[in-house]
């Protein structure tokens, strides 16, 4: 029996979701490569270095254990939550109750989307950095909530100015996203800023969600600060830590949220209805990453710093006046006069076959910048610099 295939319309909720910015970026890069060009893709935040061997070996051994072939506990194995607590004590001096103050997540992105569903009702307000990670918008749209944007400007070191948020907006807000070291700007926050954040959040009963994805990546001896190191932070919010960048485990989909016990319980409750936690072998490997030798983390950071120096030094030599990021593996660079972020990104792809992310994809205040990822080796970054310099845009 044959006939026309029925097309079922997606829900209004799916139709309202923002366009997936990175999917479009990947498609453009793939098209250029399919046309035979040698494309250097610096537009994404996908770590290019392998997961350290001792973590892979932990997974291999754990995968042979029949007890990991069954459903794990709904809220994750205690040993992984205890490992996360030990990690925070060792790295940041922060005490966490593994059972009440840590939730295992199937990737940091998942947690960032889920926490909005846990805390916001339709019409509620979230404070969102602009520019910022686009998936903050996705969670807010799924909750039918609304955004109040917090501009991040170079003049303020890409930190939000709480004094510019109206009392009415602050009173409406129930949640605020922050992210330092920052994607896309590469900015970092200090203890004074986080202390200001705690005061602002406490005064307005706002839950702070600090996206700590680039926690391990600071330059020139800088160790990025955890929000939870600030007195009062656990009263006012949570931090989401992913293993993706620290341990080159981007494909493993393992992260955790830490902090306020009521928010952790809400995350666990939502996940009770969606998952049966993570494959046990992945949890064992994650615990090995958090508790095991950290030499590979230090080696990673040294590589990123060397890459940063090659990129920034080379672009400055070409006449492009750019600032070096202080954290994350991104550089946030002003476009030359006469270009928008999109037209300049298009030019680099079409003429130099170098993929960068246009700043407009991160929000209105991202206009005028492009983001470049330090996710290729030094030789490829040097080649990208040479190609960009060859366009002679900065003479």
23-36: pLDDT as tens digits: 777 888 888 889 89
Mean per-residue pLDDT for 312-323? 96
Higher local confidence (pLDDT), 393 or 3: 393
Q: What is the pLDDT of residue 188?
A: 98
Mean per-residue pLDDT for 61-69? 97
Give phi and psi for 235, each to the nearest 5: -75, -25
Eight-class DSSP state of 221: T
Instruction: Judge if pTM exceeds 0.85.
Output: yes
Quote the CA–CA distance of 238 and 88 in Å, as a whole number. Answer: 13
Q: Residue 202 above 90 pLDDT?
A: yes
pLDDT, tens only, 288-298 = 999 999 999 99
pLDDT, tens only, 123-173 = 999 999 999 999 999 999 999 999 999 999 999 999 999 999 999 999 999
H-type helices in the chain, by residue range?
12-15, 21-34, 53-63, 78-92, 108-119, 135-142, 167-172, 191-204, 233-236, 243-246, 261-272, 280-291, 295-317, 341-347, 378-390
Please name each of the domains of the chain with its CATH number: 12-50+295-390 (3.90.1150.10), 53-291 (3.40.640.10)
Strand-strand pairing, 146-151 and 125-130:
parallel
Q: Residue 1 above 60 pLDDT?
A: no
Average pLDDT, the chain: 95
Categorize the per-residue pLDDT at 375 as very low, low, confident or very high, splitting at 50, 70 and 90: very high
Categorize the per-residue pLDDT at 116 as very low, low, confident or very high, splitting at 50, 70 and 90: very high
Angle between helices 295-317 and 378-390 in degrees, nearest 10: 20
Quote the CA–CA distance of 390 and 136 in Å, as a whole number. Answer: 37
Mean per-residue pLDDT for 109-132? 97
Q: What is the pLDDT of residue 29?
A: 83
Q: With contact defined as beta carbons under 8 Å apart, do 270 and 119 qualify? A: no
Structure tokens that stand for 142 in this block: 């799924």
Mean per-residue pLDDT for 35-48? 90
Q: Residue 19 above 80 pLDDT?
A: no
Q: Residue 15 above 90 pLDDT?
A: no
The Cβ of residue 374 has, within 10 Å, a number of other Cβ atoms equal to 28
Quote the CA–CA distance of 161 and 127 in Å, as a whole number. Answer: 12
Q: Residue 181 above 90 pLDDT?
A: yes
Q: What is the pLDDT of residue 178?
A: 98
Size of the chain, expressed as the number of residues it contains = 395
Residue with tokens 């406490």: 202
Longest dimension (CA), the chain: 70
Q: Residue 71 above 80 pLDDT?
A: yes
Percent of the chain scored above 70 by pLDDT? 99
Q: With contact defined as beta carbons under 8 Å apart, do 242 and 87 qualify? A: no
Burial class (CB in 10 A: 0-12, 13-18, 19+), 342: middle
Structure tokens that stand for 223 in this block: 């160790």
């Amino acid at each position: 029996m044959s006939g026309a295939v029925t097309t079922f319309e997606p829900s209004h909720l799916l139709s309202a979701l923002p366009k997936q910015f990175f999917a479009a970026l990947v498609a453009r890069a793939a098209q250029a490569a399919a046309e035979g060009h040698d494309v250097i893709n610096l537009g994404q935040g996908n770590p290019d270095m392998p997961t350290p061997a001792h973590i892979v070996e932990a997974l291999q051994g754990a995968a042979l254990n029949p007890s990991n072939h069954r459903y794990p506990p709904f809220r994750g194995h205690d040993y992984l939550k205890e490992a996360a607590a030990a990690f925070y004590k060792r790295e940041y001096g922060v005490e966490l109750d593994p059972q009440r103050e840590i939730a295992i997540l199937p990737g940091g992105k998942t947690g960032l989307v889920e926490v909005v569903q846990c805390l916001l009702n339709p019409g509620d307000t979230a404070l969102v950095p602009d520019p910022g990670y686009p998936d903050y918008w996705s969670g807010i749209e799924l909750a039918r909530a609304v955004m109040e944007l917090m501009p991040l400007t170079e003049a303020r070191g890409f930190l939000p100015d709480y004094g510019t948020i109206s009392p009415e907006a602050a009173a409406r807000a129930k949640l605020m996203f922050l992210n330092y070291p920052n994607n896309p700007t590469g900015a970092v926050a200090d203890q004074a800023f986080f202390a200001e954040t705690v005061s602002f959040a406490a005064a307005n009963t706002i839950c702070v969600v600090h996206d700590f994805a680039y926690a391990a990546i600071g330059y020139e001896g800088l160790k990025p600060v955890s929000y939870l190191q600030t007195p009062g932070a656990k009263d006012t919010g949570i931090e989401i830590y992913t293993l993706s960048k620290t341990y080159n485990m981007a494909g493993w989909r393992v992260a955790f949220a830490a902090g306020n016990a009521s928010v952790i319980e809400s995350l666990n409750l939502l996940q009770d209805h969606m998952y049966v936690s993570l494959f046990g072998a992945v949890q064992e490997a994650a615990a090995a990453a958090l508790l095991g030798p950290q030499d590979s983390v230090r080696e990673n950071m040294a590589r990123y710093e060397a890459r940063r120096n090659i990129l920034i030094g080379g672009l400055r030599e070409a006449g492009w006046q750019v600032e070096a990021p202080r954290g994350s593996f991104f550089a946030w660079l002003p476009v030359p006069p006469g270009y928008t972020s999109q037209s300049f990104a298009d030019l680099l792809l079409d003429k130099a076959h170098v993929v960068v992310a246009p700043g407009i994809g991160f929000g209105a205040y991202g206009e005028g910048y492009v983001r470049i990822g330090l996710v290729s080796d030094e030789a490829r970054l040097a080649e990208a610099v040479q190609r960009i310099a060859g366009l002679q845009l900065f003479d």
